[in-house]
Structure formats: C-alpha cells, structure tokens
Amino acid sequence: MARPPRSGGPAARSESRAVDLALAELERRYGLGRSLAAPGWVRERVLAILTGVAARLGVSPLAAAEQLPEDKRALEEIVGALRVGETRFYRDPIIWEAIISTVLPKLPPDLPIAGLSAGCSTGEEAYTLGMILASAGRRFSVLGVDRSTAAVEAAREAVYSAEAAEQLPPALVQRYCELKGGALHVCQKLRDVVSFEVCDLVHAVPSGGFQIIFFKNVLLYLAESAGDAVARRLAAELGPGGLLFSAASEAPRLCGAGLTPVRVNAQVTAFRAPGT
Ligand SMILES: C[S@@+](CC[C@H](N)C(=O)[O-])C[C@H]1O[C@@H](n2cnc3c(N)ncnc32)[C@H](O)[C@@H]1O
C-alpha cells in the first residue's frame, strides 16, 4: 500500500513547493492574495487538483505546477475550487438601512440610479440593492459582475432556497419575490432591471458613473497591489455623489489604497475616489 509522504520528507517538500508555485502563479495571473494561502484547506485543495492534473499528464505534481503558466484549464480549475462565494440577501442590514435613510434622500429625486455589485457571487447583493431602490420609488439599473461563470449563471436564474426569504424584511419578500415549488424566485420586474456579467475585476472594471457600488468581501481574496488597484479603479467609476460600500473589516485596506472615507452615519463608513 502506498504510504502518504512523511511530513518534512522529500516527497512532502516537493508537494509543498508545487503548491507554492501554483499560488505564486495564481497571484501573478489573477491577483489572488497569498493570505488566501494561509488556511490549510486552500493548500489541500490546490494539491488535490495538482495531483489530478499530474495524473492526467503522467508527471509529478511539482512538474504539473511548473507547467501551470501554459495550462489555463488547470489554472481555472484551481481558481474555481478556491472561490469563496458566501453571500446572502440583506447582508449587513446597517448598510442597507443607511442607504435608505441617509444616502438615497441626498441623491436628486429625478436622477436614475446606477448600482454595481462588484464581486456579486450568486446575485443576492445585486437583487437586494434592486429591491431597496425599487421600494424607494427610484428609477434605476443594477449590474452585478463576478469572475465566476457559474455564479453569474446562478444570479441570472434568480432562484434561491426558501430559507433565503428569512434573510429579507418580509415587505421585500412580499413585493419582489415569489415562493413557489419550495424555492424563492426573484420576480420578473426586478430581474428586468438587474443584470449580470462575467468580469474579472483585476483585468477590467465596468464603466459607468455609478451612484452606489458594493465592493464587499472581495478585497480579502486579492493580493495587496491587485486589490488596491481594483478599489481605485472602481472608485473612479463613481458618479457625482456616488459612494462605494465595503465590509467594515475592509475599510483599513481601502484607506490604505488611498480612497477617501465618508462617514454615512455613526455606524457606516463608505468611500469616494482618492482626493475627492
Ligand atoms: C465572498 S463573495 C462576496 C459576495 C458579495 N459581494 C457579498 O459580500 O455578499 C466573493 C465573490 O467575489 C468574486 N471575486 C473574487 N475575485 C474576483 C475578481 N477578481 N473579479 C470578479 N469577481 C471576483 C468571487 O468569485 C466571489 O463570488
């Protein structure tokens, strides 16, 4: 029976080197942060995929890792396996409440609002923004973008588990969702104004004079320079009076990237472009 490599032995060192090489290539190509490499599950998942690729190619995992720059299929497989898509409707209610009570009243009533969910995962954030804007009686459009094709396809489907209804205020469920066949469906009139596109923010950000950008829980997966550049490029796409919202834990990084913090209320800080 094959014995697993002894930790610290030559085989384990070779595997560890293979994982390091793969992580370096992921950072170079996709801006993926090395901090992502800290949890053991990341290294295990990378090694599992490299082992599969190695078996397919008839080489060692280290050789497979060395060939990664030319093996887009394997790279995409690893990126997909490392994606953290956790999201939910009405996540961080204090932000939504601040938008309703403080942000929207300051935007001219006849101004059509353009919203962006940058790193939208399966769409809950973009649809929540749509529900909030529709409830406020605003004309609007919301765009959600994500690097993951599977996530964008799910967002376009707009079908969620029935339990997702518990995350939303009941009035929003009643107005914008239908519960049928044991699932929550976002209604068509909202789907008509919330659209989704596949987009890797490290390579391009949507252009558009946005009044509200959500760039939440994405930065932590990006390496410092790649993440800072994305944040600055997104902020540059804000229209007059526009604000970028992040998770509270990401605020120090956005300040470090040069974005200007804006106190929305006692609990919520948003951001504007550097120097504005
Ligand atoms: C944890 S989810 C956050 C979802 C949502 N923003 C929220 O806060 O609930 C992170 C999402 O960011 C996406 N993502 C990570 N890096 C990206 C990039 N470079 N371009 C576009 N999307 C990215 C991932 O695919 C994932 O769906």
Pocket test for ligand 1, best of 92, 121, 129, 233 (most atoms within 8 A of CB): 121
Pocket test for ligand 1, best of 30, 202, 221, 249 (most atoms within 8 A of CB): 221
Q: Whole-number mean pLDDT of the chain?
A: 93
User: For residue 1, what pLDDT band results from cuts at 50, 70 and 90?
Assistant: very low
- Tell me phi and psi for residue 121, to 5 degrees: 50, -130
Q: What pLDDT does residue 41 have?
A: 84
Nearest Cα to Cα of residue 124 among 96, 94, 82, 99: 96
Ligand 1, atom 2, lies closest to the CA of 85
Answer whether 87 contacts ligand 1 (Cβ < 6 A).
Answer: yes
Q: Do 197 and 175 contact (CB within 8 A), yes or no?
A: no
CA 20–ligand 1 middle distance (angstroms): 23
**pLDDT average, residue stretch 178-190:** 96
Angle between helices 40-57 and 72-82 (to 10 degrees): 150
**pLDDT average, residue stretch 71-77:** 93
Q: With residue 48 as reference, give the H or E element that holds it.
A: helix 40-57
Can you tell me which atom of ligand 1 is nearest the CA of 199?
Answer: 21
Task: Please report the beta strands in 119-168, taking only residues with DSSP state E, as ranges in sequence order.
Answer: 140-146, 159-161
Pocket test for ligand 1, best of 147, 160, 212, 228 (most atoms within 8 A of CB): 147
In tens, the pLDDT along 142-158 reads: 999 999 999 999 999 99
In the chain, the domains with their CATH numbers are 10-82 (no CATH), 93-272 (3.40.50.150)
Q: What pLDDT does residue 5 have?
A: 52
**pLDDT average, residue stretch 37-63:** 90
Q: What pLDDT does residue 124 have?
A: 98
Answer whether 269 contacts ligand 1 (Cβ < 6 A).
Answer: no
- 3: pLDDT strictly greater than 60: no
**pLDDT average, residue stretch 208-235:** 94
Answer whether 85 contacts ligand 1 (Cβ < 6 A).
Answer: yes
Residue partners of 41: CB distance under 8 A and separation at least 6 = none
**pLDDT average, residue stretch 22-50:** 85
3-state SS assignment for residue 140: strand
Q: What pLDDT does residue 234 have?
A: 98
Answer whether 133 contacts ligand 1 (Cβ < 6 A).
Answer: no
Answer whether 12 contacts ligand 1 (Cβ < 6 A).
Answer: no
Angle between helices 72-82 and 10-30 (to 10 degrees): 90
Residues of the chain with pLDDT > 70, as a percent, come to 95
CA 122–ligand 1 middle distance (angstroms): 9
Answer whether 179 contacts ligand 1 (Cβ < 6 A).
Answer: no
Can you tell me which atom of ligand 1 is nearest the CA of 201?
Answer: 20
Q: What pLDDT does residue 33 have?
A: 78
- 275 against 213, higher pLDDT: 213
Answer whether 32 contacts ligand 1 (Cβ < 6 A).
Answer: no
Answer whether 125 contacts ligand 1 (Cβ < 6 A).
Answer: yes
In tens, the pLDDT along 225-262 reads: 999 999 999 999 999 999 999 999 999 999 999 999 99
- 208 against 160, higher pLDDT: 160
- 37: pLDDT strictly greater than 80: no
Nearest Cα to Cα of residue 221 among 83, 16, 117: 83
